[in-house]
Amino acid sequence: MADPKGFLTHEREIAKTRPVEERVKDWNEVYQPGSLLPIISKQASRCMDCGIPFCHNGCPLGNLIPEWNDYAYREDWTEASERLHATNNFPEFTGRLCPAPCEAACVLGINQPPVTIKNVEVSIIDRRGTRGRHPQPPERLSGKTVAVIGSGPAGLAAAQQLTRAGHTVAVYERADRIGGLLRYGIPEFKMEKRHINRRIEQMRAEGTKFRTEVEIGRDIDAKKLRKRYDAVVIAAGATTSRDLPVPGRELNGIHFAMEYLPLANKVQEGDLTVAPITAEGKHVVVIGGGDTGAD
């Protein structure tokens, strides 16, 4: 296990943010690059290696959290990365975007601040850098073909696992770039798109094919797709917004988040010079205080 007295000798420390006056001038991530690396070993040492690690249950992926906490404490980044990738194809995504229910489930959190699991996770993959993203092409092909509809995190993870298992996989995406909500819903200040691009490069090197600007049912008939491939994985995102039936809803200047966010992200990608929907010089009311409202 990690340091048996770590949770007694080290206080919880989280990633430091860049100064406000600096980060309002760009769209880069708000956290200081590399600010976690000097402290992450101590933070990982706070893990108690519980007999029943409830962080496992709190994590939708079932991440082996105590195991990679131990390796991070010992600064064995290779093994930490291996254990992290054993249950998670894209820790650089979840380590930045996940609301971290594992920390809410952390036993230490009963009477002390919980382990900074999310920070440890992203530190492991950032510490490994490109060394943690070497292509892993299959040793042999199965002769089976699979179509994956949707290139969000679910579609990409399914495609990568199926490709590595030896199947020939094609990912279909109706947008002009791969990434789904990661690409067009998540702002750059939460996760820079270079992280998506690196994974796509890895997947291409492994043999996964990508088809953009193809909408199933419009450009390709679903029945024909089913005949063409041995299997079809549907990983389409939930892009239909939930409306608010209140007086005045029909007025101009009222937009759904997913009408605004993709356009703003296209500006950051360089696909648009100016977004058709802009808040510049306007007073704005955001209805909803969750992650989407914050974005």
243-295 tens-digit pLDDT:
989 999 999 999 999 999 989 898 888 888 888 898 888 999 999 888 889 88
Over its C-alpha atoms, the chain yields an Rg (Å, rounded) of 21
Shared-domain flag, residues 200 and 250: no
What are the two backbone dihedrals, phi and then psi, of residue 291, each rounded to the nearest 5 degrees? Answer: -60, -40
139 in a structural domain: no
Query: Taking Cα atoms as reference points, which of 80, 8, 67 lies closest to residue 37?
Result: 80
pLDDT band at 196 (very low <50, low <70, confident <90, very high): very high
Domain boundary among 207, 234, 261: 234
Longest dimension (CA), the chain: 62
Shared-domain flag, residues 246 and 230: no
Shared-domain flag, residues 64 and 19: yes
Shared-domain flag, residues 10 and 120: yes
Cβ(235)–Cβ(154) below 8 Å: yes
140 in a structural domain: no
Shared-domain flag, residues 66 and 151: no
Res 128 pLDDT > 80 = no
Residue 105 confidence (pLDDT)? 97
Task: Count other Cβ atoms within 10 Å, centred on residue 268.
Answer: 15
Shared-domain flag, residues 274 and 223: no
E-strand stretches of the chain: 145-149, 168-173, 209-212, 231-234
Shared-domain flag, residues 13 and 90: yes
1 in a structural domain: no
For the full predicted model, state whether its pTM sits above 0.85: yes
Residue 21 confidence (pLDDT)? 94
Counted domains in the chain: 3
Shared-domain flag, residues 185 and 270: no
Q: Which domain holds residue 211?
A: 145-234
46 in a structural domain: yes
Shared-domain flag, residues 163 and 244: no
Q: Which range among 2-11, 105-114, 166-175 shows the weakest confidence by mean pLDDT?
A: 2-11
